[in-house]
Structure 1
Amino acid sequence: MAGSRVNTQFGPYRLDELLGRGGMGEVYRAYDTTKDRVVALKLLNPGLAHDPMYQERFRRESHAAARLGEPHVIPIHDWGEIDGVLFIDMRLVVGEDLRALLTQETRLPPERAVSIIEQVAAALDAAHAEGLVHRDIKPENILVGANDFAYLVDFGIAHAAEDTHLTQTGTAVGSIAYMAPELFDAAQVSAASDIYALACVLFECLTGRVPHPAKTVSAAIKAAVLSPAPSPSAVNGDVPPAMDEVIRTALAADPAARHDSAVALARAARSALAGGVEGVRPGPDLVKASPPPPEAPTGVVRAPDTVIAPTDPGYEPTLVRDTTGPEGGAGTTQFSGPQQFSGPQQFSGPQQLSGPQQFSGPQQLSGAQHFSGAHNYAGPQPGPPMYGPPGYPPAYPPPQRRSVAIPVLIGLIAVALVGLAVLGGILIAGSGDDAETRADEEPTTPTVTETVAPPPTVQNVPPAPAAPPPGSSPCDATVGIGTSVTSCPFAFAVRDAYVGAGAARSPRVVVAVSPVTGQAYAMNCVPEGGIVACRGGNDAVVHIY
């Protein structure tokens, strides 16, 4: 494409700035005068419009890419041909491509590299599920925006495997460095070819170079076909050795020996960072999500856009079951949620004991105790201590001979008690008048008996979760949904992926598989107020409380 088109008109588009130029064409910042918006407009080389097969595939695959709706596929507004030039109208993303990022930093920290690859993998799997193969995965076709949110671009414009443009000006050895070996034999392009290219991008992000560096096309092809996959840990000591096997599998010469999907490759890379345990990140920041309470209401999903959520999110259900105690005594009650009834109970206030009392295990009573009627405390309680050596019956005192002195002593005590009673009666009779006089002079103070009830048992209630934002439909006490197309099962999957990926309340992108659709979606999670909001997928919004 000769010269620049800046400050010219292309159909309804005013071309304001040249953003980039490559082997396939040029990208401009353009203003759409009919729709009143700023877009990224890619103009392909004019010669491509004269190839009927390429033009037909360009239209078909651009249409398929525009329907994907995956958040990491750059949205396509329009496509077609104007004045013999094929064009694609895309969303303008503020950021830079991964090639520019690698040029500035040479290589990325392993955590950051894997995070970007996870997002691109989600976009690839969404495309592969629709039968769409990208064919040209490389850093130039990955845009990195704010918070490292990644986009995959140029669906539908890459050359097919049978195209003979490998040595055209601008195609560069760089594109060949990401091509799978089978493509050099004119084999059918497949999703496995994209997975190979994605692994090459991951290798370059980790090490600062492609797996098989070469200065010529023939050297690049020979290295890709004949040389074994290198080990990234041997190039960069910061890369964990477990990553070597991930790269070796993804760069296998046999397409069938590679990972089953792009997301499977990303998961294996994440597992390698976590020390080989998939889905677990080591360190003190690991937070395990608490499971929902027993028999909690379950979100019922008829389709991805229909969710039946709990009606009252403010209270957790309480499960009550009547069962018989282990000793056949009074029934017990089971509550879902933390309940504390521990060991000895303490009561204060006057207590009265009447009737036979049976206590098994130690009881601590402060002050007098009030109990009326027979009480039987069933259930396992610590028994009384055992005395004497174990295995022997307790010793009993030997029988004693009855003595006649005891009856005599009892008789003397009885006589003394009778005498004391007579003396007491005389004293009471003599002081009766004085007592009546004092009773008339002094007010009578009634005797009040107060029974102090035992203090209620205080349960340790966990702190209430952050309040859900307006419009959020909670699925349980930890997560809710913000749009009608979001299902609770997918919200649980996003919550578990976010919690297992690092520190709480930190922004990051996670990949979660929807139990409803079976597809993987990348969700961009950022703290908002007292919650974490995750957005992505097909207009999915998940609120983690």
Structure 2
Amino acid sequence: MDTTLRDPLIGHVLDGRYRVEARIAVGGMATVYRALDTRLDRVLALKVMHPSLVDDASFVDRFIREAKSAARLAHPNVVGVFDQGSDGGCVYLAMEYVEGCTLRDVLRERGALQPRAALDVLEPVLAALGAAHLAGLVHRDVKPENVLIGDDGRVKVADFGLVRAVGQQTSASTGSVMGTVSYLAPEQIEHGVADARADVYACGVVLYEMLTGSKPHAGGTPAQVLYQHLQEDVPAPSGAVPGLPAALDELVARSAARDPERRPADAVELLAEVGAVRRSLTDEQLDALPPAARGTDTPPGAEDRTTVLPRRAPTAGSAADEGGPEHTSVLPTPVGEPSAPPGGAGGTGGTAPPEPDADGRRGRPFRRLGWRPRRPVPALVVTVLLVLGTALGVWYVSAGQFTRTPGVLGLTEAEAKRAVDRAGLEWRIAREHSETVERGRVVSTVPGRGERIRANGTVTITVSRGPERVEVPDVTGDTLADARRRIGDAGLEPGMVTREFSEDVARGSVVRTDPAAGEARRPGTAVAFTVSKGARIEVPDVVGEAEGTARQRLTEAGLTAEVAPERVFSREEAGTVARQSPGEGSVAAEGDTVTITVSKGPDMVAVPDVEGMGEDEAVRALEDADFEVKVRRVFFTGTVFDQSVDGGERAPRGSTITIWVR
């Protein structure tokens, strides 16, 4: 059945801006749509939380955290997040639309990859995670479903919904941990702890899976898989694929070591090790064909989904005895829906592989990984003959005119120049900043490694300038508006504002910044301002003074006098100040406002006649009339024989009436 007929959002414009055009995927937490941003006229992916989860604060928090984390990174290998908002009952993320597929799609169809292809995927994944780790963030859910491969060959990491700051509590609750069973590090399972090395462990498992076409740990239940993570090392990939170089075995063993202390400290360190391994391998080793066995076409199991798991380590007995998985899914994926992240955007939720194009291919990224989908035999024979005929003609005309770009990523500038010279090619040097490649080493080349180039062609070698840093300008003494502008012009982000008293800096001007002036920070770093409230002033007491006098005294003190619109009854004379706010002795800054309330004079009320009453009765009668009472006793019979204001006369409300008792 056409899903557009069943989906009420198709054709709807969310937030007056995003026109929903087609559904890409449905998962346990959200549905992903292809949409058009009518304001900027661009196609994007719209990730809409299921309405049933909108009232669940934890899910909404995770949803919004994904937007903030991805937007904070702004890395070319992280799926970009453009916007986040809500429209009625729809909570959504507007995300970069990546036309292509997921690494899970590739592994399911192809199985094992050539070492070169596996490293080609792993390196940009590590670059994205390295940027996150440098920013103090841990992804916590690295898996093939969250690695997107665009039609243009770009690799991007998706779904930062489980991201946490390093050192922050990383479990879903006191006794549980979130993640995906097949890729959880032992310390996540046992202690609920996840730092950058947990992401490194998951990358080691993904590398093993790319090199062999299967996961390192398998079991009848997720609990059995968890037990193997705790008790068994990830095996050497050469055990499943004989002939793989020992350097790849060592890379997997180090990155997926059970002891986190034996792993690289973060993705940046692992990326450097991957570069060293690549340089140590020959072209024959990098391009060695993997076994012809294909990956399974069965849908992912429960161990492939992001889950909430008990922290207590399972035992072998419990894994075998349990009839079902030892986990509770965050939300079960609907029957018939895949659970991989969407090829169109990335993030929690399922996806179907991209729609086949005219000749049956599922997207150009597969061709970059050396894969062709199966076709019917007659069509395959005809195609092969046509390709061979064309190739022979091209070879006949242009034999010897082309070569391949050498691999120089990670080499020093001098080493890269020599390698290009040895290949008989010309070179040109470009430079750019890089957060993941150290200064003086190669970030990229155009054409890319292994791509076809004319034998006399020129390779553009881009060399790292190191991480880009911006010096915080000195804005001390500037007005807040000017300071914000100068910070923004420097490539930094104006941040929060706090205020304090200052004897030296004028009111409204900047006292200092954090980071301080002259410190170097990444572009986009937030700079906080401390702004002067002016000199400290003690508020004078003007209660009881005439209104004009009170205003003059406050002005002379450097304060602003404001008169309350309504006058009140008080003990103070009419036209004088009945009360002030803030009161006497309070501390204010120059220019602060003091509100004064002017008196209408006393509120005159009738005094009750209490002569002849008992003492207690007389006191109650006067207090009920809003008077204070003072008792003087002459004798002790307890009867009132006189009062300071005669009964029936008027006295100010709240004033004191004296009674004499005998």
TM (norm. structure 2) is: 0.43
1:150 to 155, 158, 161: 155
Counterpart selection for 1:7 from 7, 10, 15: 10
Q: Which has the larger radius of gyration?
A: 1
Work out whether residues 217 and 228 of structure 2, in 8 Å CA contact, stay in contact via their aligned partners in 1: yes
Distance 1:13 1:271 in 2: 45
Distance in structure 2 (CA, Å) of the matches to 1:100 and 1:499: 27
Question: 2:84 matched to which residue of 1?
Answer: 79
The answer to whether the aligner puts 1:90 opposite 2:95 as a matched pair is yes
Query: Which digits, 9 at most, give the CA deviation of each residue in 1:144-203, with x for residues without a partner?
Result: 0135310111113569952379999xx9xx931011122223423211111111111111
Once the 2 structures are TM-superposed, how far is the Cα of residue 504 of structure 1 from its aligned partner? Answer: 8.4
* Partner in structure 2 of residue 208 of structure 1: 213
Q: Which amino acid aligns with 1:163?
A: A
Q: 3-state SS of the aligned residue for 1:50? A: coil
| Deviation per residue, 1:431-451 (Å, 9 max, x gap) | xxxxxxxxxxxxxxxxxxxxx
Cα distance per residue 1:291-347 (max 9 Å; x no partner):
49xxxxxxxxxxxxxxxxxxxxxxxxxxxxxxxxxxxxxxxxxxxxxxxxxxxxxxx
User: What corresponds to 2:251 in structure 1?
Assistant: 246
What is the rounded CA distance, in whole Å, between the counterparts of 1:196 and 1:36 in structure 2?
41
Q: Is the 8 A contact 1:27 1:43 kept in 2?
A: yes
Q: Give the C-alpha shift of residue 18 in structure 1.
A: 1.8
State the distance in 1 between where 2:280 and 2:203 align: 22
Which among 3, 10, 27 is matched to residue 22 of structure 1? 27
Helix, strand or coil at the partner of 2:228:
helix
Q: Residues 16, 136 of structure 1: CA spacing in aligned structure 2 closer, same or farther, 3 A cutoff?
A: same
Q: 1:242 to 1:291 in 2, by over 3 A?
A: closer
Please give the alpha-carbon distance, in whole angstroms, between the structure 2 residues aligned to 1:180 and 1:252.
9
The letter for the 1-side match of 2:93 is I
Q: Could you tell me which amino acid in structure 2 is paired with residue 7 of structure 1?
A: I
CA contact (8 A) 1:143 1:150 kept: yes
Give how far 1:66 is off: 0.9
Q: CA deviation at 1:76?
A: 1.0
Match of 2:430 among 480, 483, 493: 480
Counterparts of 1:500 and 1:89, CA distance in 2: 31
State whether structure 2 residue 172 is matched by structure 1 residue 163.
yes
Give the CA deviation at 1:47: 4.6
Q: Does 1:493 align with 2:498?
A: no
Distance 1:153 1:284 in 2: 30
Equivalent residue pairs, number: 331
Q: Measured at CA, do residues 465 and 218 of structure 1 come closer, stay the same or move farther in structure 2, by a change above 3 Å?
A: closer
Is this contact kept in 2: 1:479–1:491, CA < 8 A?
no
Task: Name structure 1 gaps, 5 residues minimum.
Answer: 293-463, 467-476, 519-536, 540-545
Q: Does 1:515 align with 2:518?
A: no
Shift of 1:492: 4.7
Matches within 5 A, 1:255-266: 255-266=260-271
1:531 corresponding residue in structure 2 = none
Letter in 2 for 1:31: L
1:106 matched to 2:106: no
- Root-mean-square deviation (Å): 4.6
Name the amino acid aligned to 1:212: H
Q: Which residue identity does 1:152 align to in structure 2?
A: V
Structure 2 CA distance for partners of 1:187 and 1:157, relative to 1, 3 Å: closer
Q: Deviations over 1:222-269 (max 9, x none)?
A: 111111211111111252122112111111222222112213323333
CA 1:19–1:512 in structure 2 vs 1: closer, same or farther (change >3 Å)?
farther
Match of 1:437 in 2: none
The one-letter code of the counterpart of 1:243 is L
Q: 1:175 to 1:23 in 2, by over 3 A?
A: farther
2-side partners of 1:227 and 1:157: how far apart?
A: 26
Change (3 A) 1:146 1:509: farther
Name which of 208, 224, 227 aligns with 1:219.
Answer: 224
Q: How does 1:45-444 map to 2 (within 5 A)?
A: 45-156=50-161, 161-163=170-172, 175-275=180-280, 285=406, 291=414
- For residues 40 and 263 of structure 1, the distance between their equivalents in structure 2, rounded to whole angstroms, comes to 29
Amino acid at match of 1:117: L
> Is this contact kept in 2: 1:214–1:220, CA < 8 A?
yes
Counterpart Cα distance in 1 of 2:428 and 2:467: 20
Q: TM-score, normalised by structure 1?
A: 0.51
Judge which range, 115-124 or 37-46, deviates more. Answer: 37-46
2:147, 2:158 within 8 Å by CA — same for their partners in 1? yes
Q: Are the equivalent residues in 1 in contact too, given 2:434–2:468 (CA < 8 A)?
A: no
**Residue by residue, what CA displacement relative to the aligned partner does 1:476-516 show, whole Å, maximum 9, x if unpaired?**
x84135x8x799x9885236888996678599999976434
Is the 1:61–1:132 Cα contact (8 Å) retained in structure 2? no
CA contact (8 A) 1:40 1:92 kept: yes
Query: Residue 516 and residue 151 in structure 1: after superposition, are their counterparts in 2 closer, same or farther (change >3 A)?
Result: closer
CA drift at 1:57 = 4.9
- Paired residues of 2:103 and 2:147 also in contact (CA < 8 A): yes
Q: Distance in 1 between matches of 2:174 and 2:48?
A: 18
1:31 CA displacement? 1.9
Q: Which has the higher contact order (CA 8 A, sep 6+)?
A: 1
Amino acid at match of 2:227: K
- Counterpart contact for 2:447–2:460, Cα < 8 Å: no
- Following superposition, the deviation at residue 143 of structure 1 comes to 0.8
Does the 8 Å CA contact 2:217/2:225 hold for their aligned counterparts? yes
Aligned to 1:31: 36
Paired with 1:495 and 1:515, the residues of 2 have a C-alpha distance of 10
Indicate the larger mover: 1-10 or 181-190. Answer: 1-10
SS of match in other structure, 1:27: strand
Q: One-letter code of the match for 1:479?
A: I
SS in 1 for 2:138: coil
Structure 2 unaligned blocks of 5 or more: 288-403, 416-423, 470-521, 525-662
Is this contact kept in 2: 1:480–1:491, CA < 8 A? Answer: no
- Secondary structure in 2 matching 1:67: helix
